Structure 1
Amino acid sequence: MSLMTKSPYAYGKVAVLMGGDSAEREVSLASGGCVLKALVSAGVDAHPFDPSQRSIYELVSEGFDRAFIILHGRGGEDGVMQGALEQLKIPYTGTGVLGSALAMDKVLSKLVWSARDLPTADYRVLEKSTYNVSECSQILADLGGTVMVKPSHEGSSIGMARAQTEAELVKAVEQAFVYDDNVLVETYIDGPEYTVAILNGQALPSIRMTSPNVFYDYEAKYKTDTTEYFCPSGLPMAQEKQLARLALTAFESLSGKGWGRVDAMRDHDGTFYLLESNTVPGMTEKSLVPKAAKQAGMSFTDLVINILSETLDEHE
């Protein structure tokens, strides 16, 4: 994939929005630090900006020309920051207000994908205000006996758990309600997990992840060295293309733009099931999107510049 060739001066003064006050703050700071380092190394006038510690209006008063959003989770990945930047008329990287809000909400994502006849696991939605613990036994039976429990609006597998008994499901739901008023319970897909990075309308090579943990959880993503990543993923070419088409369609269905990542699982029959779409994925040099970009022949710095280049319109 060719790099968009622009002078580093074309971007003006760039704010790398990082940190924030979501449950994914630490991950965002790590991602933001890597993005900032890459931009500066490319000659871009880039500066860190933590909206949890500074007023968003300082972006205007300090003369920032555009923003690289690397805020994970609520307040940065859910359309809130995108809406604020729209009001301030500051160009920003990635997906817009609607697409960010849709992708951040796992329940709405599944509703959109179901309406498009895209494959996603069977599920139930539990609302904190109406939830009754007596529902758990029937939900477990309806969804095949093993389920995944997920807060609707969290990322990085925060608040997620697998449940195989009624007692485990009750505990998992209660824990998920700590993070969100809406909880998604879905049929557990027993098979390998894949992710497809998307950059400017193209799917990058897929990655397969394996972990000795119960599932690819927060610890497996950020805390241990036991997780293995395979890129290329080992899929036959026909299935690689199938997964790429599915990921692109899923991303575009949620109004995704610019760059992102779509996660999926494959059952023992070879069927792919969509898990979620990420509009601001992790961007440390060990994160999944940079791994896929490297496999496609792109350095981390080239990847970051490609993402930022989308903020330049034809008039600039």
Structure 2
Amino acid sequence: MIAILMGGNSAERKISLKSGEAVYKALKNQQVDCFKFDWDGDNLDKLWSKTFDSAFIILHGRGGEDGFIQKQLENRNIIYTGSDSKSSANSMNKYLSKQIWQRVGLPLAPSVLANKTAFVPDINFPLPWAVKPVCEGSSIGISKVVQTDQLQAALELAWRYDDQVLIEQWIVGGEYTAAIVGKKMLPVIKIISQQAFYNYDSKYHANDTQYICPCELDSAQEQQLQKIALEAFESIGASGWGRIDFIIDANNNPYLLEINTVPGMTSHSLVPMAAKAAGINFEELVRQIIHES
């Protein structure tokens, strides 16, 4: 019996519920014994009262991608999909993940950390800047700062979601994402948003966001991106499945943005899209994710 853990109490709850429904239908279509469990942040006792052998984690954001639910399952020796509690925590924290990637020499935009209770550090890289909560997903709380007098408002928005905020040089270029299932790289997707950047609305609501796959990079460039993505995934200790996001600037230099250890599985989601381009339908994708747990 598989418990599909969905919902949560993060800013990404609605998307998690959609992802969970899609996974549930895919498993039911394959006659797999499973049930949906809507975790609201305060009802885990109800989950532990149920009988199940494993868990499919499709909780996005805090609670689901930061190692919390993984640790609860580990404490009960229940197997689950995706990365373990430690690597999930490192992945969710954009500052920690950048530190890990910097140590192994992966390409990153310069950044500084701003704490809510301390002075904002000196920023010694040029505008524009991306201001983002350290532990939040789906581009929630992110602002683009093009002049310094916009910084305070951007920080205040980001601090609604986290006491720590990353101020990062905004790299102008094309947006790409590389998905991983097991150790297999899926085709890279190019993302063209009609918004200022690929924000929450572009990801989940807009119908004019374009997803290009094949991604229009030549074979060598795509393979380079996949190689960096796999190294980023493995260096942080991630496993099972995930997605790595990039920017490629006008000089064809790639920059790592972030890692997603529980990516979306909705109709707008990128991992199912990449899998489809590789000849893997949604039901097979779900099976592969379970197989890798």
TM-score by length of 1: 0.90
Aligned-residue CA RMSD in angstroms?
A: 1.2
Give the fraction of aligned pairs with identical amino acids, expressed as a percent.
Answer: 48
Residue 109 of structure 1 corresponds to which residue in structure 2?
Answer: 97
CA contact (8 A) 1:148 1:163 kept: yes
Q: Equivalents in 1 of 2:15, 2:272: separation in Å?
A: 15
Residue 67 of structure 1 corresponds to which residue in structure 2?
Answer: 55
Question: Runs ≥4 in structure 1, deviation > 2 angstroms?
Answer: 53-61
Q: Deviations over 1:259-280 (max 9, x none)?
A: 0000010011111000000000
Residue 30 of structure 1 corresponds to which residue in structure 2?
Answer: 18
How far is the alpha carbon of 1:93 from its aligned partner? 0.2
Match of 2:289 among 303, 307, 310: 307
**Are 2:172 and 1:190 aligned?**
yes
How far is the alpha carbon of 1:18 from its aligned partner? 0.2
162-171 vs 148-157, which moves further: 162-171
Q: How do residues 236-251 of structure 1 correspond to structure 2 at under 5 angstroms?
A: 236-251=218-233
**Letter of the aligned partner of 1:27 in structure 2?**
I
Q: Equivalents in 1 of 2:259, 2:58: separation in Å?
A: 15
Match of 2:27 among 39, 43, 47: 39
Match of 2:185 among 193, 197, 203: 203
**Letter of the aligned partner of 1:34 in structure 2?**
A
Q: How do residues 1-316 of structure 1 correspond to structure 2 at under 5 angstroms?
A: 13-52=1-40, 55-132=43-120, 138-139=122-123, 142-311=124-293
CA contact (8 A) 1:285 1:300 kept: no
How far is the alpha carbon of 1:57 from its aligned partner? 3.9
Q: Equivalents in 2 of 1:109, 1:42: separation in Å?
A: 37
Instruction: Report the number of matched residues.
Output: 293
Q: Deviations over 1:230-270 (max 9, x none)?
A: 01101100001100000000011110101000001001111
Which blocks of at least 5 consecutive residues in structure 2 are unaligned? none
CA contact (8 A) 2:9 2:41 kept: no
**Letter of the aligned partner of 2:243 in structure 1?**
R
Secondary structure of 1:18's counterpart equals strand
Q: Deviations over 1:255-306 (max 9, x none)?
A: 0101000001001111100000000000013310000000000000000011
**Letter of the aligned partner of 1:29 in structure 2?**
L
Secondary structure of 2:15's counterpart equals helix
**Letter of the aligned partner of 2:51 in structure 1?**
G
**Letter of the aligned partner of 2:240 in structure 1?**
G
CA contact (8 A) 2:203 2:268 kept: no
Q: Point out the structure with max Rg over C-alpha.
A: 1
CA contact (8 A) 2:134 2:162 kept: yes
**Letter of the aligned partner of 2:65 in structure 1?**
E
Q: Deviations over 1:147-181 (max 9, x none)?
A: 10110000000000100111211111111011000
Q: Equivalents in 2 of 1:219, 1:131: separation in Å?
A: 32
Q: Equivalents in 2 of 1:154, 1:131: separation in Å?
A: 22
Which blocks of at least 5 consecutive residues in structure 1 are unaligned? 1-12, 312-316
Secondary structure of 1:250's counterpart equals helix
Change (3 A) 1:257 1:30: same
Q: Deviations over 1:50-84 (max 9, x none)?
A: 12177324444321110000000001110000000
Q: Equivalents in 1 of 2:101, 2:228: separation in Å?
A: 11
Q: Equivalents in 2 of 1:268, 1:310: separation in Å?
A: 37
TM-score by length of 2: 0.97
**Letter of the aligned partner of 2:81 in structure 1?**
T
Q: Equivalents in 2 of 1:143, 1:71: separation in Å?
A: 35
